[in-house]
Structure 1
Amino acid sequence: MAEPAPAQVTANRAELEEEKARIQKRLREFDTVLKRTTDEKRVSLGELRAVNQKLEARESYIATLNRELRLVKQEIQQTSSRIDQLKKELESLKEEYAKMIYTSYKLNQGVNLVAFIFTSATFKQFYMRLKYLKQYSDARKKQVEQMEKVSQNLIQKQQELEAQRSNQLAVLAQEEEQRKELNELKTEQQQLVSSLSQKEEALKKEIAATRKQQEELNQLIKRVIEEEMRLARAMAERENETTAEQPAEKSLPAAPKATALSSSFASNRGKIPWPVESGFISRKYGTYPHPTLKGITETNDGVDIQTNNNAPVKAVFAGRVTKITTVPGMGGTIIIKHGDFYTMYSRLKTISVTSGQDVNTSTVLGTVYTDADGISELHFQTWKGLEVMDPSIWLSSK
């Protein structure tokens, strides 16, 4: 397999540094959230989910360090190869220079250079001998300069090699430290699982309560969307009746604002900002095994985002607030319409907007609620019409 070009190695290094910075930022967010949870001195599923997510991030960071180690090894191989080439090139130049010196010595034996020039039979011969000596002198000078240049390059590459080897040792030490922290985190995870497994009945009740809350949320947003669709149809029928009564030449079709908003929302898939400044997805979308109870599954029609205490919750896209209510167990809930799309924000402690209000991206809707276990968690959903969608495909990567 051919080694990657130096330019490609540089690009790969820049990409790795960016990925490391991104994962380090996530790990700091986990630390902040987990510190708040640990301070509450309660063992909860929320803490376990945070630890699980941190564990995944730590493993990703170690994988990134391993990629960096492979990259450093490639850099060392390339630099070592270049050093070998420069050594061969310098040796070749020295051999050529030695031959030039020897040739010069042989030519000068018994011959005085001044006499060699001034004993020319003709002016043309005089000029050609003078030109020859100058070219020979320039060639020797150029050879010396070339040897000096190669020597300097060789010294530079040897210094680069030493720096790369030091970098390799630093990354190895960092990887060892990360593996140590990973093992400590796995121990913490096992302790949490063990503690929670002793609360099986309480956990089953919590799962049942969560499913009931989820169903109530789903029924709420479906009623809101159905009412919005009914109003939209009624408005369209009135507009059609009005248009039919008007002369044809005065009928000017207008581009519906809702259609433009729907198109804009759809085109921003994977680019929409998060509803909270910092945090991580503690419960993903879909159906998956419970983290501690065997044979039990969890279902989530949105995503749960653990964040900081009293974190501001923001609208992820421009739209209109169509519903503000309170759902038992889910706290304050806001539904925003974005054309054919809807976003829902639940588990709010405070609400800063009013029903019918137009909002922009990043308009503060309220603050997140913190439960008795010290978990500050936002429940976030995305819908297109009556079809629920995975919010994570819309949110920008962190």
Structure 2
Amino acid sequence: MQVRFKSYLLFFLLFVTLVYQTEAQQRSSRTRKPKSKAQLEREKRENLNRIQEANRILEQTKQQKEASLGQLNAIKEKITVQKKVITNISSELNYIESDVKQTESVVGNMQTDLQKLKAEYATMIYGASKTANSYNKLMFLFAADSFNQFIRRLTYLRQYSESRKKQVAEINRVTTNLGQKLTVLNRQKKQKKTLLNVQVKENYNLLSLKDQQDNMVQQLSQKEKELREEVNRRQAAVRKLDNVIANMVREEIARAARVAKSRAGAEGGTATRTSTNKVTLTPETALLSSNFGGNKGRFSWPVERGFISQRFGVHAHPVLRNVSTRNNGIDIQTNAGESVRSIFSGIVRAVLEVPPYHTVVMIQHGEYFTTFTKLKSANVSEGQKVDAKEVIGTVYTNPDGTTELHFEIWRNTTKLNPETWLLTR
């Protein structure tokens, strides 16, 4: 009974300890929610895929032998993903370290419990040996003064024997569990050591990538004159494209207003109020527009593979000092021959050539417009209805080996950041 009481007490103390640890973890999670192991594993696979994509894109740009901004962008993408890989490994190490500490704590408690059980068993055996020297079992039984005392002594001997058996069984059970926990602990420590070696390797890879980046920047710095001329050409092209898109949007606004006015006249009703800076929506286009807006952050990318090489807004030039460039959309660097897909159902409003952006395709989705530029060719024509993920063309590859899609989203005459509308990668 004493052994059972001590076991219950030990389990109670362990329970209280676990409750305290759980409450402490919950208090910590209120300020910072750690990622789950499944989430870390998923991110690891995604990061490895992104590195492979960046490697393929980088190899294509290297075929031209000369340093280019496309190569620099691919290296920067690899550095960005490499940092995420290292962060992911650190998070995995935190999980393993937590598991190791927890297992070590359990092992320590079990070892203490085992020592107590063995000590109690030794005391029991010692007491039994002393009794055996004075009496044997038969003498102990037949020395009873009455039949009732005989029965009580017999019951005592049986209980004593059962207690010894239970004690031995408990010792064996704890010993087996302890061996299993030690095996788990050794496996966890091995995983930790392996992961630490991987982390060291990935850190070396990161340093190597940063050296490549520095060398690439140094090579490009020697082409300062060419780069400045390229910046001027790019900014002029941005303004030209901006005017082209704005004109197409204004034409569609005017066209929709004319259609609404004509429809109202034919039906003998009051003309719908129109705006000079907003598309006049019919019930059908209003639903399309609402569905488009409701899917913000959930659109598939216009290309299956690639990375954002330049984001929306004003950015410092990656090589030239005190030089900034403006981007009204995002540039996605991808593989040569990559197909371009519509991100949502709509109507093709324009397919035209805008040097140096090559082929431009604009699709209307109610009051929203998506524009795809730097296409080598287009598979659609003006007025055609397209579905989500329908291929509309192929990305153009520059002479320096860079394959890059320029993508914009407008709501009427307002430019939007496309990155916030696409699925996060």
* Same fold per superposition (TM over 0.5): yes
Mapped pair 1:364 → 2:391: yes
Pick aligned residue for 1:284 from 311, 319, 327: 311
Residue type at the aligned position of 2:364: K
Q: What SS class does the counterpart of residue 367 from structure 1 fall into?
A: strand
Q: What SS class does the counterpart of residue 47 from structure 1 fall into?
A: helix
Match of 1:376 in 2: 403
Match of 1:100 in 2: 124
Q: What SS class does the counterpart of residue 269 from structure 1 fall into?
A: coil
Distance in 1, Cα, partners of 2:267 & 2:137: 109
Pick aligned residue for 2:259 from 216, 230, 235: 235
Distance in 1, Cα, partners of 2:297 & 2:303: 16
Once the two structures are overlaid, the 10-residue window that deviates more, 210-219 or 62-71, is: 62-71
Match of 2:350 in 1: 323
Kindly state the Cα deviation for residue 158 of structure 1 after the two structures are TM-superposed: 1.5
Distance in 1, Cα, partners of 2:137 & 2:260: 107
Q: What SS class does the counterpart of residue 161 from structure 2 fall into?
A: helix
Distance in 2, Cα, partners of 1:332 & 1:128: 103
- List per-residue Cα deviations over 1:219-258 (Å, max 9, x = no partner): 2222222222223333333444566659xxxxxxx98222
Mapped pair 1:221 → 2:248: no
1:34-73 equivalences under 5 Å are: 34-73=58-97
- List per-residue Cα deviations over 1:94-130 (Å, max 9, x = no partner): 1222233234344545344345556766665555444
Gap regions ≥5 residues in structure 2: 1-19, 271-280
Distance in 2, Cα, partners of 1:372 & 1:245: 57
Distance in 2, Cα, partners of 1:186 & 1:194: 12
1:152-167 equivalences under 5 Å are: 152-167=176-191
Distance in 1, Cα, partners of 2:375 & 2:412: 24
> Aligned pair in 2 of structure 1 residues 10, 375: CA closer, same or farther (>3 Å)?
closer
Kindly state the Cα deviation for residue 263 of structure 1 after the two structures are TM-superposed: 2.1
Match of 1:355 in 2: 382
Residue type at the aligned position of 2:125: I
TM-score by length of 1: 0.89
Residue type at the aligned position of 1:80: E
Match of 1:273 in 2: 300
> Aligned pair in 2 of structure 1 residues 226, 136: CA closer, same or farther (>3 Å)?
farther
Distance in 2, Cα, partners of 1:123 & 1:11: 70
Match of 1:293 in 2: 320
Match of 1:19 in 2: 43
TM-score by length of 2: 0.84
1:170-185 equivalences under 5 Å are: 170-185=194-209
Kindly state the Cα deviation for residue 381 of structure 1 after the two structures are TM-superposed: 0.8
Residue type at the aligned position of 1:329: P
Distance in 2, Cα, partners of 1:130 & 1:10: 61
Kindly state the Cα deviation for residue 11 of structure 1 after the two structures are TM-superposed: 6.6
Percent of counterpart pairs with the same letter?
34
Q: What SS class does the counterpart of residue 383 from structure 1 fall into?
A: strand
User: What is the total number of aligned residue pairs between the two structures?
Assistant: 389
Q: What SS class does the counterpart of residue 128 from structure 2 fall into?
A: helix
Mapped pair 1:333 → 2:357: no
- List per-residue Cα deviations over 1:323-373 (Å, max 9, x = no partner): 111110111111111222211111111211122222122101111110100
Distance in 2, Cα, partners of 1:12 & 1:154: 28
1:115-130 equivalences under 5 Å are: 116-117=140-141, 127-130=151-154
Distance in 2, Cα, partners of 1:19 & 1:390: 24
Match of 1:29 in 2: 53
> Aligned pair in 2 of structure 1 residues 191, 132: CA closer, same or farther (>3 Å)?
same
Distance in 2, Cα, partners of 1:126 & 1:317: 92
Match of 1:188 in 2: 212
> Aligned pair in 2 of structure 1 residues 230, 118: CA closer, same or farther (>3 Å)?
farther
Residue type at the aligned position of 2:344: F
Distance in 1, Cα, partners of 2:301 & 2:383: 22
> Aligned pair in 2 of structure 1 residues 126, 386: CA closer, same or farther (>3 Å)?
farther
Distance in 1, Cα, partners of 2:283 & 2:353: 32
Pick aligned residue for 1:87 from 95, 99, 111: 111
Higher RCO (Cα < 8 Å, 6 or more apart): 1
- List per-residue Cα deviations over 1:298-343 (Å, max 9, x = no partner): 1101111111110111111122211111110111111111222211
Match of 1:148 in 2: 172
Distance in 1, Cα, partners of 2:288 & 2:155: 81
Distance in 2, Cα, partners of 1:95 & 1:290: 75
Once the two structures are overlaid, the 10-residue window that deviates more, 64-73 or 265-274, is: 64-73
> Aligned pair in 2 of structure 1 residues 393, 116: CA closer, same or farther (>3 Å)?
same
Once the two structures are overlaid, the 10-residue window that deviates more, 131-140 or 40-49, is: 131-140
Q: What SS class does the counterpart of residue 270 from structure 1 fall into?
A: coil
Distance in 1, Cα, partners of 2:177 & 2:106: 10
Distance in 2, Cα, partners of 1:91 & 1:255: 82
Residue type at the aligned position of 2:386: V
Match of 2:291 in 1: 264
Kindly state the Cα deviation for residue 275 of structure 1 after the two structures are TM-superposed: 0.9
Residue type at the aligned position of 1:216: K
Distance in 2, Cα, partners of 1:27 & 1:85: 45
> Aligned pair in 2 of structure 1 residues 154, 191: CA closer, same or farther (>3 Å)?
same
- List per-residue Cα deviations over 1:77-99 (Å, max 9, x = no partner): 22222211111111121122223
Kindly state the Cα deviation for residue 12 of structure 1 after the two structures are TM-superposed: 3.2
- List per-residue Cα deviations over 1:186-228 (Å, max 9, x = no partner): 2221221112112112111111111122122222222222222
